[in-house]
């Protein structure tokens, strides 16, 4: 930045000697005055083009907080190789809008814990399922209290295609566990026990001999059952996905809608786990003390479906569990701290009216 005072001091130093042969004319500006006037014009032009001056022109007249506060030491806008995006960005800036830098790379950490519902449980033999057999198994085996906890670390790349439209892709790794309880209740007809030579007597007597409850009518069945069998499944895998964001603002406030789709190739699933997430946010943009950034509230819907594949050791048999998220909706609260024009930190969590627990932290760099 040009230091006008320093320039003026240098000029005054080198022009402080009298120039002989000419008479002073008070009606004509001296060289010192011309240099001083020129220096003032340069300073005024740079101040008019500064970020702070742009903010001052656009800030809410009834608010003491600027619409787009930035680091006070920020320089005027620089020409960048990335200025070809967003499309219509030049026109938006000419209208006074301060746009984020077009490209971004972020490291995103997400941890969440949420309940799932089991829609089907069955068996697969050498990768093939029998619908009749699985219908029977579904009647005698119940999976309940399924809860999935996972931690995911993603690398996210994004670009603003238009001033209001962002697209992104991500790749990462996920790791977690699924905890559930299994109940089963299998009626074994007493004729089968007689044929196998198990127990003694007929009907109820046969069941009593093997210490199983009897259910009638005759010849009846012996009831083989167990409840609350705790089962824990550990998993890990690779995550790939993409998404898009639409954003806009008015005054100190903004809104955005985001949709993304991801697939996770985890080691205990037959097929890739597919997840579609919709979210909307409304927030405020401004400055509080040293904090410069955004604060928002929002809502999210997660649509997750996956099939777990649990192999039985030393066999070609696998237990198959189809599941989906049981509490798809939750509310969000979050904030973004703009450390500089390029660097920002984001934190977001859920609150109220949801069985899901989640926390997201993101470190981003824009260029």
Task: Provide the CA 281 distance to its chain's centre, in angstroms.
Answer: 12
Q: How confident is the model at residue 172 (pLDDT cuts 50, 70, 90)?
A: very high
Domain boundaries, position 282: 103-184+231-366
SS3 at position 341: coil
Classify residue 361: in a domain, yes or no: yes
Contact 65, 59 (CB under 8 A): yes
Computed over every residue of the chain, the mean pLDDT equals 80
Q: How confident is the model at residue 74 (pLDDT cuts 50, 70, 90)?
A: very low
Region 71-90 average pLDDT? 68
pLDDT at 13: 39
pLDDT at 83: 79
Classify residue 89: in a domain, yes or no: no
Q: In 3D, which of 212, 250, 87 has the Cα closest to residue 160?
A: 87
Indicate if the pLDDT at residue 152 is higher than 70: yes
Classify residue 250: in a domain, yes or no: yes
Q: Are strands 291-311 and 329-338 parallel, antiparallel or unpaired?
A: antiparallel
Where is the domain boundary, 163, 195, 227? 227
Domain identity same for 136 and 177 = yes
Indicate if the pLDDT at residue 7 is higher than 60: no
pLDDT at 199: 84
For the segment 310-328, what is each residue's pLDDT rounded down to a tens digit?
776 666 777 788 888 888 9
Q: What are phi and psi of 45, to 5 degrees?
A: -65, -40
Domain identity same for 168 and 305 = yes
Residue 2 DSSP code: -
pLDDT at 65: 38
For the segment 118-129, what is each residue's pLDDT rounded down to a tens digit?
888 887 877 777
Helix, strand, coil percentages, rounded to 5, for the chain? 20, 55, 30
Where is the domain boundary, 77, 94, 127? 77
Classify residue 175: in a domain, yes or no: yes
pLDDT at 44: 65
pLDDT at 73: 43
Indicate if the pLDDT at residue 6 is higher than 70: no
Domain identity same for 131 and 171 = yes
Contact 357, 113 (CB under 8 A): yes
More confident residue, 307 or 34: 307
Distances (CA, A) of 298 to 189, 251, 282, 335, 351: 56, 19, 6, 11, 10
pLDDT at 235: 92
Structure-token pair, residue 126: 């050498």
pLDDT at 43: 62
Domain identity same for 113 and 41 = no
Region 201-209 average pLDDT? 87
Indicate if the pLDDT at residue 227 is higher than 50: yes
Where is the domain boundary, 61, 77, 93? 77
Domain identity same for 324 and 288 = yes
Domain identity same for 128 and 215 = no
Classify residue 50: in a domain, yes or no: yes
pLDDT at 64: 37
Domain identity same for 161 and 199 = no
Domain identity same for 180 and 308 = yes
For the segment 246-266, what is each residue's pLDDT rounded down to a tens digit?
998 888 899 999 999 999 999
3-state secondary structure 30-74: CHHHHHHHHHHHHHHHHHHCCHHHHHHHHCCCCCCCCCCCCCCCC
Classify residue 88: in a domain, yes or no: no
Percent of the chain clearing pLDDT 70 (strictly above) = 78
Q: What are phi and psi of 361, to 5 degrees?
A: -130, 135
Contact 298, 327 (CB under 8 A): no
Region 323-345 average pLDDT? 92
Domain identity same for 111 and 173 = yes
Q: How many domains does the chain have?
A: 3
CATH assignment at residue 265: 2.40.160
Indicate if the pLDDT at residue 28 is higher than 80: no
pLDDT at 140: 81
């Amino acid at each position: 930045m040009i230091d006008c005072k320093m320039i003026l001091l240098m000029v005054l130093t080198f022009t402080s000697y009298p120039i002989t042969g000419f008479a002073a004319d008070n009606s004509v500006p001296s060289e010192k005055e011309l240099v001083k006037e020129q220096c003032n014009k340069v300073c005024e032009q740079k101040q008019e083009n500064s970020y702070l001056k742009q903010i001052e022109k656009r800030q809410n007249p009834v608010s003491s907080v600027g619409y787009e506060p930035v680091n006070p030491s920020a320089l005027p806008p620089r020409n960048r190789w990335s200025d070809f995006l967003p499309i219509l960005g030049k026109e938006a800036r000419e209208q006074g809008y301060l746009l984020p830098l077009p490209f971004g790379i972020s490291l995103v950490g997400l941890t969440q814990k949420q309940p799932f519902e089991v829609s089907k449980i069955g068996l697969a033999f050498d990768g093939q399922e029998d619908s009749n057999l699985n219908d029977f198994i579904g009647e005698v085996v119940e999976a309940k209290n399924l809860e999935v906890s996972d931690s995911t670390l993603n690398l996210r790349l994004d670009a603003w295609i238009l001033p209001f439209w962002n697209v992104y892709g991500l790749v990462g790794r996920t790791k977690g566990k699924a905890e559930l309880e299994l109940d089963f209740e299998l009626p074994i007809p007493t004729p089968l026990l007689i044929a196998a030579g198990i127990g003694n007597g007929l009907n109820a007597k046969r069941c009593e001999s093997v210490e199983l409850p009897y259910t009638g009518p005759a010849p009846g069945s012996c009831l083989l059952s167990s409840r609350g069998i705790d089962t824990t499944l550990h998993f890990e895998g690779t995550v790939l996905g993409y998404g898009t964001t639409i954003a806009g603002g008015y005054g100190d406030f903004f809104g955005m809608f985001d949709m993304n789709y991801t697939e996770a190739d985890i080691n205990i699933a037959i097929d890739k786990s597919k997840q579609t997430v919709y979210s909307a946010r409304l927030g405020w943009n401004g400055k509080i003390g040293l904090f410069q950034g955004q604060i928002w509230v929002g809502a999210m819907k997660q649509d997750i479906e996956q099939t777990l594949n649990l192999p039985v050791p030393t066999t070609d048999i696998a237990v198959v569990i189809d599941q989906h998220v049981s509490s798809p909706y939750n509310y969000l609260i979050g904030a973004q701290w703009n450390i500089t024009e390029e660097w920002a930190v984001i934190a977001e969590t859920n609150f109220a009216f949801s069985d899901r627990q989640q926390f997201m932290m993101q470190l981003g760099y824009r260029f």
